Every structure is written in C-alpha cells, then in structure tokens.
Chains A and B, each alone.
Chain A
C-alpha cells in the first residue's frame, strides 16, 4: 500500500514568515513529486514538481527532495495571507501514471 503522509495542521505563521511543509512517502520506487495548493471547495492547483534530490526554487517556493529519507518538503518564503490553503503532497510511482495524495496540511497565514 503506497502511503503519503502529511501533518494535517493547521500550521499557523505570521505574514512575512517562512512556512515549512513536510511530507513522507512509503514507496521507494517513487519517481515524481508534486505540491498542489487547494483552497476550500476548489481543485488542486500545481505549485511545484521535483524529480531529483536537492532543492528546486520557483519564486517564493522551494521544494526539497531527499529520496534516501523518503522525504519531500515545501518552503514558502515571505508568506502572505493569500497563501492560506491546504497544501497537498502527491507522489507518482514508477510504472504508474497516477498520483497518490497525502491528506494535506492546512496553512494559515495571519496578517
């Protein structure tokens, strides 16, 4: 059973702070890793994808992957109230085209 685990939160940070979101996965065959943002009642919106160990930066977002530890994280710098949402970690396994999602971490950014 492929599992993706996330702390459900909520993670509360003040505006301007760095938010750190974490995710672990069980399947060592996992190849592709994604972070989606989901506002309440809305669809998942892609933020970042990462495939190789290390860091990948895109604007205020940095994804970090450590395959040996089966760990992927998302850092959000200069957090804004509009970043308040649930962040979904999703993993795609080798040999499959589908995503396995975690339950998501709710992020609350207070002004």
Chain B
C-alpha cells in the first residue's frame, strides 16, 4: 500500500540551528501538508501546498518556517533558528484532492521527532 515516508525519524538539534525535515508523499497525490504534535497535545495544522505554492497556512507557520518541493518527489519543511518550543513530532501528509467526498482523505507519514536542546 502506498505510504508517506519521512526522514529523519528523530533529530536532535541545538537551539538556533536550522533543521530540514524531508518527506516523500504518496506518488499520485497532489496536496501536501505539514502538521505537528507537541508531546501530549493535539495535532496542529501548519501548512498545505499545492501546485508548487502554499495554499493555506496556520498562525504557527510564521517566517521561521518554509516549505519547498525541490523535485518531483520530495517535500521539505525548513525550520530556521530553532527554539525549545519547536520540539515536537512533525507529520508530513498528502491527499489526492483537497476537498469533496472523493479523494480528500489525508494520509500521514510516520513522523519526524524533533528535539531542540
């Protein structure tokens, strides 16, 4: 069964450093997302991406964050100048379509656990 894959599974970084989290969405999917989950809290939306541009973003997704689709398969989340409060599980996700009863289901990768020390 097709799946969303993410790397790394776990990364420890020093405060102030830049981090890039990588994702390979499901191959025929057109919409890509990043969500995060701080330990013990709810899953929160960060950003959605379609046709090589951001389609929606949350208040969390400020200038510290950026996303890119550098080639036909990868989708990346860059976090600049990391802070302690950026420590969380970051989930990449994808869907075939954004809305409607057909194809809008969002499938999640296994996550990248980011620890900022």
Measured between beta carbons, the chain B residues less than 8 angstroms from A32 are 99, 101, 104
In-complex Cβ contact of A98 among B41, B45, B113 (8 A): B45
Question: A32-B101, A43-B109, A46-B105 in contact; A98/B91 too (CB < 8 A)?
Answer: no
Indicate whether B18 reaches chain A with its CB closer than 8 angstroms. no
Is A97 touching B91 in the complex (CB atoms < 8 A)? no
Q: How far is the CA of A92 from the CA of B89 in the complex (A)?
A: 21
By a beta-carbon cutoff of 8 Å, the part of chain A in contact with chain B is 31-32, 34, 36, 41-46, 49, 51, 88, 90, 92, 94-104
Q: A32-B104, A46-B105, A51-B101 are in contact. Are A97 and B56 (CB under 8 A)?
A: yes
Chain B residues within 8 Å of A88, by CB = 42-43
The 8 A CB mask of B26-66 against A (1 = contact, 0 = none) is 00000101010000011111001010000110100000000
Known: A34-B105, A44-B91, A49-B105. A97 touches B111 (CB 8 A): no
B110 & A101 in contact (Cβ 8 Å cutoff) = no
Do residues B99 and A42 form an inter-chain contact, with CB atoms below 8 A?
A: no
A96 to chain B: which residues have CB within 8 Å? Answer: 56, 98-99
The answer to whether B42 touches A102, judged by C-beta atoms less than 8 angstroms apart, is yes
In the complex, which residue of chain B has the Cβ closest to the Cβ of A103?
B42
Chain A residues contacting B111 (CB-CB under 8 Å) are 42-43
B106 contacts the other chain (CB 8 A)? yes
Check B42 against A101 for contact (C-beta < 8 Å). Answer: yes
Which residues of chain A come closer than 8 Å to B91, judged between CB atoms? 43-44
Q: Is the CB of B99 within 8 A of A101?
A: no
Sample of 19 A–B contacts (CB below 8 Å): A32-B101, A36-B108, A43-B89, A43-B91, A43-B108, A43-B109, A44-B43, A46-B105, A92-B99, A92-B104, A96-B98, A97-B48, A97-B55, A97-B56, A97-B98, A97-B104, A98-B48, A98-B56, A101-B44
Among residues of A, the one whose C-beta sits closest to the C-beta of B43 is A101
Distance (whole angstroms) from the CB of B8 to the closest CB of chain A: 15
* Identity of the chain A residue whose Cβ is nearest the Cβ of B45 in the assembled complex: A98
Q: How far is the CB of A25 from chain B (nearest CB, A)?
A: 13
